[in-house]
Amino acid sequence: MGQKKESTVKNTPLHAWHLVAGANMANFGGYEMPLWYSSVKQEHLSVLTAAGLFDTSHMAAVDVAGPGARDLLQRTFTNDLEVCIGKPKGPLRPGRCVYGAFLDDTGCVIDDSIVYQLADGHFLAVVNAGMGASIASHLQKQADTDNSVVTITDRTDRLGKIDIQGPASARIMAGILADPGKIFDALPYFSFKGGFDIDFPPTRGKVELTDGTPLLLSRTGYTGELGFELFMAAGRTRAVWEALMAAGASDGLMACGLAARDSLRGGAVLPLSHQDIGHWPFINHPWPFALPWDAERRGFTKSFIGDQALLSVSRPEFTLPFVGDDLRKVSISDPAIVIDPDGKKIGTVLTCVSDMGIGRVDGRVFSIASPDRTADFKPRGLCCGFVKINKHLSAGDRIQLKDSRRTITVTICRDIRPDRTARRPIRQML
């Protein structure tokens, strides 16, 4: 008999827990990950009405440190680190993080990222599963070209990461944090505190659980709802997960898989790298805050890799969000195409999911969490997602999406799920 070939699929520190919990598992980004546990709909709705817990230890992280770290990121990252925080926009500083992308010379996306400033000259770029080595190599190549004094370290599989998302997430976290009042004070959206080992020293003070476990606690997430991303030493991941599950039991906390993560981020108008953004110019999309546009939106406030390619696109395409009339979807793997009112193909469907927490009343979209919804409102779900087309359309324009099974009519929009909680003050949510 021939030697059995070893599988290259990786596991997160929570893999055994998922199996015991009966999760439906699948390969995602080179990791065996939970798609769902019992019901995608229930997991999706739990994040809108209570809270959901996500294993995100498959995400990769790249450490960028040294005197040349900030300049290197300024040249390689789309967002301008000098004018990206608050209103008026100020510089990225320790304890704050910002979203953007790493592009190649043609202006196409290598991967998107949230960049955290841990200290002066010390940054952490969190990227997608399987992309740690690629981004580390890209940064190292640029550092070598520019003779930057910087150390780049791929932290893939060397840390644990858990996301808790939903309106009850702050209350649940307060039950396991050693000093929640102090930690939650001055913790706005896209900020963080703490650290968990010598490579990640505390930023803006220590964050510890009641059992002494140190964390880096970030007020970010991928659902559009109030929540946190927790970074810890890999060996502590399961203990933290189980502590959260116990603390959130009375608040309706549910373990959630990738399927709910996908439908939630679709309704929140958040892109999936290599699907909604990818090997085409990173421009004419719903995320202009990721680019350093100047006041006139004719140029950029800094130079970065791919900038001239973006400004000189000759045949532009447009990535736009849409929302449907009901929950019916088309399949992007079919693949699904976009048809204009004259029956002409004008593009492709990038994402099509059903946000089960929304519905229409007299043409208006409400969320199950909308404060002005009627007492008898029950969301039936609406399909939503992104299309990439060869012409600009405005909010309210109607198009058709078609795969081999069905054709559905949808509406171009600016936003999808209303009344999201991500930016609400923590004190309101406690």
DSSP per residue over 186-239, as a string? T--TTBEEE--BTTB--BSS--BBTT--B-EEES--SSSSSEEEEEEEGGGHHH
* Percent of residues, the chain, with pLDDT higher than 70: 98
Evaluated on CA atoms 108, 128, 346, 288, the torsion sign reads: negative
Q: Residue 401 corresponds to which tokens in the numbers above? A: 């999406």
Decide which of 19 and 7 is more confident. 19
User: Does the structure show a pLDDT above 50 at 1?
Assistant: no
Q: Where in the chain is the domain with CATH 3.30.1360.120?
A: 15-57+158-265
Query: What is the per-residue pLDDT for 7?
Result: 61
Evaluated on CA atoms 46, 48, 51, 55, the torsion sign reads: positive
What is the C-alpha to C-alpha distance for residues 318 and 303, in angstroms, rounded to an integer?
Answer: 23
H or E element: which one contains 132? Answer: helix 132-146
Confidence (pTM): 0.96
**3-state secondary structure (DSSP) of residue 38:** coil
Query: What CATH number was assigned to the domain covering residues 317-422?
Result: 2.40.30.110
Q: How buried is residue 373: exposed, middle or buried, by Cβ count under 10 Å (0-12/13-18/19+)?
A: middle
Nearest to 45 by CA among 429, 427, 380, 327: 380
What is the C-alpha to C-alpha distance for residues 144 and 141, in angstroms, rounded to an integer?
Answer: 5
Q: Where in the chain is the domain with CATH 2.40.30.110?
A: 317-422
**3-state secondary structure (DSSP) of residue 65:** strand
**3-state secondary structure (DSSP) of residue 278:** coil
User: Does the structure show a pLDDT above 70 at 221?
Assistant: yes
User: Does the structure show a pLDDT above 60 at 6?
Assistant: no
Matching CATH number, 15-57+158-265, of 3.30.70.20, 2.70.150.10, 3.30.1360.120, 3.90.1300.10: 3.30.1360.120
Segment 59-76 shows an average pLDDT of: 98
How confident is the model over 13-53, as pLDDT tens digits?
A: 999 999 999 999 999 999 999 999 999 999 999 999 999 99
Backbone angles phi, psi at 239, to 5 degrees: -65, -40
**3-state secondary structure (DSSP) of residue 274:** coil
